[in-house]
Chain A
Amino acid sequence: MSLTDRIAKGLEAGWKVTDASTLTDNQTHEADVVIIGTGAGGGTTAEILARAGLSVILVEEGRLYYQKDFKMDELTAYASLYQEGMSRVTKDGAIAILQGRCVGGSTTVNWTSSFRTPEPTLSYWADNFGLENLRPEAMKPWFDGREERHTVSPWLTDPNVNNDILRQGCDKLGYSWNVIPRNVKGCWNLGYCGVGCPTNAKQGALTTTIPGALDNEARLFHGLRADKLVMKQDRIDHLVASAMSADTVTPSGVKVHLKARHFVVAASAIGSPGLLLRSDIPDPHHRIGKRSFIHPVNATVARMPEKVDPFYGAPQSIYSDEFNFREGVDGPAGYKLEVPPLHPAMSSGVVPGHGEEQRDNLKQLPWMQSVIALLRDGFHPDSPGGTVSLRDDGSPVLDYPVTDYLWDGLRRAFHTMAEIQFAAGAEQVRLMHLDSPWFNSWSEARAAIDELPMELHRVRLFTAHQMGGCGMGENPQQSVVNGFGEHHHVSNLSIHDASIFPTSIGANPQLSVYALAARNSTRLAGKLKG
């Protein structure tokens, strides 16, 4: 158990960290490399380049929050740590998008699940996108290295009841399950990963690679929004960025110009295509923003006879891949089964309802258990993904049509989740669907799920994993970057985040981002030093 706060100590020791809301004058800075985004990809890149002796500037639109700010409070955390104050949705409003907006990005607020990219996914990429160098055996050392860097290992403590019910249900039905590897060190098993780890146990970018970069002379600007990469001939010359006011949502008017030899964009699968589109980066085949994937998530809740206390304990420790690749990598949509933590604000926003019904729903929270299914999108012609485009104000928005192929997967996932919950002893089960009552038995639920309309808005859909939009591939007509994250057309631009995934992953993506960013940054460091 370490209460050492790396951030507080580093700031005291004189790290070069600038809160852009305090800037009063326009200014220009220069470095070898400017990195946009401080999440899984940006943090990894910054540490590796800075350790290689390159000068690095990190740019983060969100603010720097750390242990002193992490008080296990939902409302404060959702307002400050998440994109659009936790109100981000797809273009038609039908899918809620959970995504971090702070130093450390989504790794500051994720539930610590750390899976390697599944082998069938890497093989599919090699076979379909020419990414031969990403075959499982080639990627293994990078996963090994990142698991060590982020202290990833299977959770050896007993799962909380919420997760144990998924295990029990799978056991009863003969479905496979396993223990989730987590990136934690000295975890107190509290259950507040989603609102900023209060104990510094979570080994996300905020407590590992960001301090590692800052220890090696990297400079960090937070509260600074990357507006536009400006080209000079065929290279990027500088980044124009806007300082945000202390309110975090309004630009203060101060502009910062950042010049560099090389630019690494790691602003997420929504932010990175957005920045490239705003910058008019050469895109002869109109690939930027296309093939965006989200692991569409649907959910069921169960009322259990015994207390679950789903707000306490490591939020995710058990998963099932029984249905993930069962029908083949490119068959009917597969899904991974996991469990979400349930705190009051999140639950009251996710469980649809109002009035007496909602009061009665939430009254049961201590006995409530939930299962989520994460659909593996992007592996089938009928799952082409969504599109990131720009709103009139230049901000990015994701349009994600839910195809019949996905609806079929969502309906099957509803079946599986309800079946598992009843098998584990649930008294009642309800779908996160506007038309779903509480079902009293598996047979009742099974019959109803076949009939319920699978329609946008009626089915409550979520995503915590945004991927694609700047896909990698060897063919420039079908991709934005090559297998090293290097832009096909602009020689001093790399992309180091989940936006380069050519499909979804089929697992929580943070370790995939860490590993690819480490691999690609190591190569980039060699090139820039050479």
Chain B
Amino acid sequence: MSHLPHDQESPSTIDRRSFLRAGLGGTLFLGTVSVTAGLSGCATAPAGRLDAADTPVDEGYRFQFLTRDDIELFQALLPAIVGPALMEEPEPRRQAIAGTIERIDQGIVQFGPANQQELRKLFDLLNFGLTRVTVARVWSSWPNATTAEVDAFLERWRTSGIGLLNNGYIALTKISNVAFYGHPQHWHLSGYPGPPPWAMQALPQFNNA
């Protein structure tokens, strides 16, 4: 097993695990965080339309699920999750991240109420300072976190022995990867040429004339 990545059983990992499993485990714990986050002034309403001055996200798009804090969270996460596949030039890179965050928002709207609630708990846990530090072990606020710090956080959740954190890793990376690699502008990154052009030419639903 030594050649496989595996959870490092540091004392703090074990402490955290027993802390999560005793008393405050799972959904109950996350639910508590959500309430606490709301009470302590975290953004809890969908961001709606953002001012251009405020954020690099397109002001024409109206966010229906993600809050301002969530948007900052994904602005920090995406460079680590899909960053290496992104172009280096600042403007296209900014646009690719902004577009991915919009598609994440669009996707989550279709998830429906139950899974939206689960994601709300996860995002609140990450956005709320106390749990960001204790559970995610990210010391900087998200806008100040380096890509290396974010990558280390993702790696900790992926290799953790706690299923709940593995689940968080999967949730964050899956919605980000799908929204990014699934977009036609990024198909070339997976060598996918798109639907066969001959079929599109032959099929009535593509004739928009």
Contacts and interface: CB of A to CB of B under 8 A. Distances in A.
Contact of B163 (A94, A347, A363): A94
A12 interface: no
Contacts of B174: 349
A364 B189 CA distance: 9
Given A190-B196, A363-B189, A358 B167 contact: no
B114 A455 contact: no
A198 B199 contact: yes
B114 A395 contact: yes
Given A85-B111, A87-B111, A457-B167, A434 B158 contact: yes
A192 B173 contact: no
A190 B199 contact: yes
Interface string B169-209: 11101101111111100110111100110011001111000
Interface residues of A, number: 66
Contact of A359 (B84, B167, B206): B84
A92 B182 contact: no
A396 B171 CA distance: 21
Contacts of A457: 163, 166-167, 170
Interface residues of B, number: 57
B182 to A, nearest CB: 3
A13 interface: no
Contacts of B151: 354-355
A435 B6 contact: yes
What secondary structure prevails in chain A residues at the interface with B? loop
B21 to A, nearest CB: 14
Contacts of B113: 249, 393, 395
A344 B83 contact: no
Among A73, A85, A88, A456, residue most surrounded by chain B Cβ atoms (within 10 Å) = A85
B182 A75 contact: yes
B200 to A, nearest CB: 8
A458 interface: yes
Contacts of B196: 190, 312
Contact of B107 (A85, A93, A358, A393): A85
Interface in A53-111: 67-75, 78-80, 84-85, 87-89, 92-94
B189 A345 contact: no
A249 B110 contact: yes
A456 B167 CA distance: 9
B166 A71 contact: no
Contacts of B195: 71-73, 190, 192, 198
B4 interface: yes
Nearest to B119: A87
Contacts of A435: 4-6, 159
A2 B183 CA distance: 30
A199 B190 CA distance: 26
A136 to B, nearest CB: 40
A239 B99 CA distance: 42
Contacts of A199: 199, 203
Nearest to A452: B4
B189 A359 contact: yes
Interface string A267-309: 0000000000000000000000000000000000000000000
Among A359, A391, A457, residue most surrounded by chain B Cβ atoms (within 10 Å) = A457
B84 A348 contact: no
A87 B205 contact: no
B131 interface: no
Nearest to A434: B158
A167 B174 CA distance: 31
A352 interface: yes
A349 B163 contact: no
A86 to B, nearest CB: 8
Nearest to B163: A457
B115 interface: yes
A455 B192 contact: no
B167 A93 contact: yes
A74 B103 CA distance: 13
Top 9 A-B pairs ranked by shortest CB distance?
Answer: A345-B182, A85-B110, A457-B166, A348-B181, A348-B177, A72-B195, A365-B190, A359-B85, A87-B111
Given A71-B205, A88-B115, A358-B81, 12 more contacts: A72-B199, A93-B171, A199-B203, A248-B110, A343-B192, A347-B181, A354-B154, A362-B189, A395-B112, A397-B114, A435-B6, A460-B170
22 contacts: A5-B204, A68-B205, A72-B199, A75-B183, A78-B107, A79-B110, A84-B111, A93-B118, A93-B170, A198-B199, A199-B199, A249-B112, A344-B192, A348-B182, A354-B177, A355-B81, A358-B81, A358-B82, A362-B189, A363-B191, A435-B159, A458-B163
